[in-house]
Chains A and B, each alone.
Chain A
Amino acid sequence: MAIPHRIIRRNELGCPFEYVQMDSLAVMKIIKHCYEERSNIEVPRGGLLGLVIENRLEITNTFAFPIAKADEAVDEDYTTNMMLHMKKINQDYLHVGWYQSCDFGAFVTVEFVVAQLGYQDSIEESIVVIYDPKKTARGFLSLKAFRLTPQALKMLTENEHNITPEFVKSLHLSFDKMFLEVPIMIRNSPLASALCCQIVEMKPVDKGTQFLDLGTSSVMESRLKLLLEKVDDIHQEAYKTNKWVMQVSKQQQEKSKYIHQRNLENAARQAKGEPVLPDEDLNKIFRPIPPPSRLPQMLSSSQVEFSCQQINSFCSQALGKLFISEALQHSKAEQ
């Protein structure tokens, strides 16, 4: 499984473990919570409980966050109460991350980044699990775990309100190096495996075959719409950057013109023998215009990258299904 290669990659990207191991219980609870609350809350969220063992992060239980009141991101009381309770019933009570449900994986927003930053600040090994309910409803279980890379952390913590282009350049950071995806494995304990066998007997698994559905237009429409929105955002940001660049160059020109005029005047006065005009602080007359923050553009680019990858894999499997149905049709026609 190419483990040595992974170890090297993980250590240089600041991730203390190689993969995330989720208990089947955690998976089922996340799915249940997001399904039940999909009409009530916009973005169902919850916390992950578990611990780090050897080279993996085990997630053994989850709990849901109540709907946030006002502008609090997470209800602290609820979390503390929940963890105390978990301790009493012998569950793992270490809060190792959080999960969020996002339609079609559209999760890269500023609040997301800030929340994950908060978590990684306080708990070093925290991750965020993104669950895509629409994709799972179509038949493909979609759970992904992400962390912020160390460079992204540095960029966000040191200079939160002033993410200028040179700062980003100095960190060698581009949008595709902001997030690190950690592979997820799902684990069943032996007793849970026995339970699975029992459930299969009681309810034959002929459900869950939605992924063989040939219809693609609805999914493609929503995905492409999302892509278009993000590309629009990037376009806006690029326009702002260009405008800023033009303003700066205009300002430069005015500055040089002013200096030139000053020098001329000074020369004229010297010729007449009058005192020279004092040197004024140029910065007060020509205030430096702050550059627009690079963060929204980087986030949108990152989101576009993820969406493109997902579109690709969706198209590849849709093509596969089309070819299968073609083969079946041919064999029927040949009879």
Chain B
Amino acid sequence: MALTVKVHPTVLFQIVNAYERRNLDRTAILGTLLGSVDKNSVEVTNCFVVPHSISGADGTVCIEMHLADVMYKLNKQVHPSEIIVGWWITGYEVSSIAVPINDYYARQCQNPIQLLVDTTMKTGKMNIKAFVQVDIGVPEGSQGAMFSPVSVEITQYPPEAVAMKTLQRARSIQGLVEPLAELPQVIESTVDLDEMLTVVLNYVDDVIADRVTPDNTVGRSLLKLVQAIPKMTSADMEGMMNSNIKDLLMSMYLSELTRVQIHLNEKLAMTSPNISNLQ
């Protein structure tokens, strides 16, 4: 069964945040995944941390089930449609404590997904993988469990995509960024567009001068690009532009006028003669 796990960025941010705030004696932390199950995909929309401890000698794991329960109930009050779909853990590879924890979660939901987030960044990248438990072994002989990987993709709500764009800018400059006002944002993306066009033009020049072998797919996308500009006569274009500009300027003028009148109204109300006559 081709199961895909769709993860929202919020979940990953929460996992990273919880990892940063873990108690120093832990190397890995885990928690519950919440979301909804579809026919062949699981959408993970929320998660929370569950403290756990590994007792030294025999490596038994205990998790604070009471805390997990309380948190799930609190969450249900706010997001009634989210159910437990699995659990997450940080680390580089599936560890041996995965089996008992998976058992616990198998009691809470049907087919728990294990999400493994590599916050230690062993390979220089933060790998995000998902697994499902599969029973293996000979029926009469030794049984075991294996975790088979499932594909992970990132889904975003449209406003989340917008926020991600802003957050992306925060990763370069000491981690701090100010959300842009509207016009500066358009200006910035115009600059980006300019740079992209320069790259494309250089490529085209290189191909014409035979410095680079032409690539058919690139050529086709360039053709699509040029044809994407709608075919309008310049008169039509002028007409549309002018009417739009007029509308916008009119709105700006009216809103400024309203502002001035509001201020005036306030001043006049304050200086009304009858106010001082009140006894």
B278-A248 in contact (CB<8A): yes
Per-residue CB proximity of A9-42 to B under 8 Å, as 1/0?
A: 0000000000001011101110111111100000
Interchain CB contact (< 8 A) of A317 among B186, B247, B262, B266: B186
Contact B162–A199 (Cβ < 8 Å):
no
Chain B: interface residue total (CB-CB under 8 A): 95
B interface SS class: helix
Q: Which residues of A contact B279 (CB under 8 A)?
A: 288
Contact, CB under 8 Å: B245 / A319: yes
Which B residues lie within 8 Å of A115 (CB)? none
The interface residues of chain B lying within 8 Å CB-to-CB of A332 are 226, 229
- A192 to chain B: closest CB distance in Å? 5
Q: Is the CB of B164 within 8 A of A202?
A: no
Answer whether residue A161 sits at the interface, using C-beta atoms and an 8 A cutoff.
Answer: no
B14, closest chain A residue (CB): A25
Q: Which residue of A lies closest to B50 (CB)?
A: A89
Question: Which residues of the partner chain B approach A27 to less than 8 Å between Cβ atoms?
Answer: 163, 167
Q: A32-B8, A78-B74, A188-B170 are in contact. Are A195 and B255 (CB under 8 A)?
A: no
The answer to whether A137 and B159 have CB atoms under 8 Å apart is yes
Stretch at the interface among A149-157, A266-274, A301-309: A301-309
Asked, given contacts A90-B21, A140-B182, whether A200 binds B13 with beta carbons under 8 Å apart, the answer is no
In the complex, chain B residues 217-238 whose Cβ is within 8 Å of any chain A Cβ: 226, 229, 232, 234, 237
Contact in complex: A195, B168 (CB < 8 Å): no
Could you say which interface size class chain A belongs to? Answer: 35 or more
What are 11 sample pairs from A and B whose C-beta atoms fall under 8 A apart?
Answer: A32-B45, A89-B21, A137-B159, A141-B165, A164-B278, A191-B19, A288-B278, A304-B262, A317-B186, A319-B249, A326-B237
Knowing that A188-B167, A234-B265 are A-B contacts, what are 17 other residue pairs whose CB atoms are under 8 Å apart, sorted by A's residue number?
A27-B167, A31-B157, A32-B45, A81-B74, A88-B67, A89-B18, A186-B167, A186-B170, A186-B177, A192-B13, A211-B162, A231-B258, A308-B259, A314-B182, A319-B249, A322-B248, A324-B190
What are the 7 tightest A-B residue pairs by CB atom distance, in nearest-first order? A193-B171, A207-B161, A208-B161, A317-B182, A308-B255, A208-B165, A203-B154
